[in-house]
Amino acid sequence: MAKCRVGLWIVGAKGAVAVTTILGLVSLKKKQSSTVGLASELPRFQNLDLVDWSQIVIGGHEIRKTTLLDEIQQIHEHNHVFDSNVISKCKTEISKIEKNIKPGILVNVGETIKKLADKKLLQKKETPKQAMSRVMRDLKKFQSTHELDNVVVVNLSSTEPAVDVKKIPKTWDKVEKTLEKADTCPLAASSIYAAAAILNGMPYVNFTPSVGSSCTAIEKLANDREVCHMGRDGKTGETLMKSVLAPMFAARHLNVMSWVGHNIFGNRDGEVLDDPVNKQAKVTSKDQLLGQILGYSPQTLVTIEYIKSLGDWKTAWDHIHFQGFMGTPMTLQFTWQGCDSLLAAPLAIDLFRFTELSARRGETGLLTHLACFFKSPTGVIENDFVRQYQLLETWAEMVGL
């Protein structure tokens, strides 16, 4: 039996996480990279019939005017990551992927993101509806051109300004009516992409804190169309730490009095988050899990600040002040120094592979067993990382039989 061929469609295809994902996939295919960092390559998931590197075709949407290779080169130089030999060996293949990347959409993305956009794109006059139709056409064309069994859409774009989910009607019928005009549309681009994918019958994964498919109308739509999807906000660093440390304090009945987390970094994501309207969505996503895990709400503080010199090297300092036996105050501090794109890209690849398998198996609706990959897993209350991970392991055991 011939192996299936699947498409990975990246929204924000020339962003740092995206180009790292692309370089990573190409280098894996060419055996230039190890599988370190990819959970889907752990022995415990080897029974699963996940797609391998040779089966994947990559395309995507992007609003900026740049090239994949320029972006890769910049990340390489600014952050002292990637091996220059690996880049060389992957160049030709990456140039081919370039052709699969189409202009993105700008519905309600906010001023800071618009400033980054290609001017031509800004001049384009299209209603949200037209934008959605264009996305749907691009996706279908990608599938047919490359003869793909399926296409998984993964959102890796910049964080949009916080959207008031309450203002989004509860059914897709009603939402659709708002798309005729820009000024009545309550959805931002991430949700337009999500709906476009789902309407096409294609799975959607939201790696960002933007709303994406996480609203009642689109969740229902996915159920109706029997498409699977999941989000939101990839859990890469500081929040991952929170989701393993908070359960420890809870299990030991240590009383967390305050938890302060300062995050500094200097990539484009950082620039976008420097705009308070974009930042809010992120901070909320990083902050909400403590209360759930601990069962009470300690004083918390989360800051995210743009420090140019750090580039993609996200540094987080967390200070946890907790009370032990007989009222004794104690302290845990940690410093996390991780290169954001290199932490995020393998998770994006894992999510793509697990989601593709779920789709192939006919799973529909929210893929809650993928909760461990997200800061704010839609439809899942559990935030303890190990217990979230057990959901994935249980699923894998069932699927792997």
Backbone angles phi, psi at 94, to 5 degrees: -65, -35
- Bridge-based pairing of strands 204-206 and 228-231 is parallel
Q: Which of 48, 116, 182, 264 binds its own copies (CB under 8 A)?
A: 264
In the shown chain, the binding pattern of residues 321 to 350 toward its own copies, with x for contact by CB under 8 A and - for none, equals x-xxxxxxxxxxxxxxxxx--xx-xx----
In the shown chain, the binding pattern of residues 359 to 398 toward its own copies, with x for contact by CB under 8 A and - for none, equals -------------x-----------xxxx-x---------
The residue (of 228 and 391) whose beta carbon lies closer to its own copies is: 391
Backbone angles phi, psi at 42, to 5 degrees: -70, 150
Residue 31 found at the interface with its own copies (CB under 8 A): no
Q: How far is the CB of 150 from its own copies (least distance, A)?
A: 24
Q: Judged by CB under 8 A, how many residues of this single chain contact its own copies?
A: 77
Q: Which of 3, 4, 30, 34 binds its own copies (CB under 8 A)?
A: 34
Q: Do the beta carbons of residue 104 and residue 11 sit within 8 Å?
A: yes
Q: Tell me the C-alpha distance between 20 and 13, whole Å.
A: 10
The residue (of 104 and 266) whose beta carbon lies closer to its own copies is: 266
The residue (of 324 and 379) whose beta carbon lies closer to its own copies is: 324
Backbone angles phi, psi at 333, to 5 degrees: -125, 145
Q: Tell me the C-alpha distance between 7 and 199, whole Å.
A: 17
Q: Tell me the C-alpha distance between 340 and 271, whole Å.
A: 14
Which residues between 221 and 260 bind its own copies (CB under 8 A)? 240-241, 244-245, 247-248, 251-255, 257-258, 260
Say whether 14 sits in a helix, a strand or coil: coil
The residue (of 85 and 123) whose beta carbon lies closer to its own copies is: 85
Judged by CB under 8 A, the stretch of 17-25, 64-72, 110-118, 285-293 that binds its own copies is 17-25
Q: Which residues pair with 329 in a beta bridge?
A: 323
Sign of CA dihedral 119, 122, 123, 129: positive
User: Which amino acid is located at 371 in the chain?
Assistant: A
Which residues between 82 and 141 bind its own copies (CB under 8 A)? 82-84, 86
Joined together, the tokens standing for residue 283 give 């901070």
The residue (of 109 and 304) whose beta carbon lies closer to its own copies is: 304
Q: Tell me the C-alpha distance between 203 and 201, whole Å.
A: 7
The residue (of 325 and 381) whose beta carbon lies closer to its own copies is: 325
Q: Tell me the C-alpha distance between 18 and 344, whole Å.
A: 9
The residue (of 80 and 170) whose beta carbon lies closer to its own copies is: 80
Q: How far is the CB of 102 from its own copies (least distance, A)?
A: 26
- Bridge-based pairing of strands 313-323 and 255-265 is antiparallel
Q: How far is the CB of 84 from its own copies (least distance, A)?
A: 5
The residue (of 212 and 346) whose beta carbon lies closer to its own copies is: 346
Which residues between 278 and 307 bind its own copies (CB under 8 A)? 295, 299, 301, 303, 305, 307
Q: Tell me the C-alpha distance between 362 and 356, whole Å.
A: 10
Joined together, the tokens standing for residue 173 give 């019928």
Q: How far is the CB of 338 from its own copies (least distance, A)?
A: 4
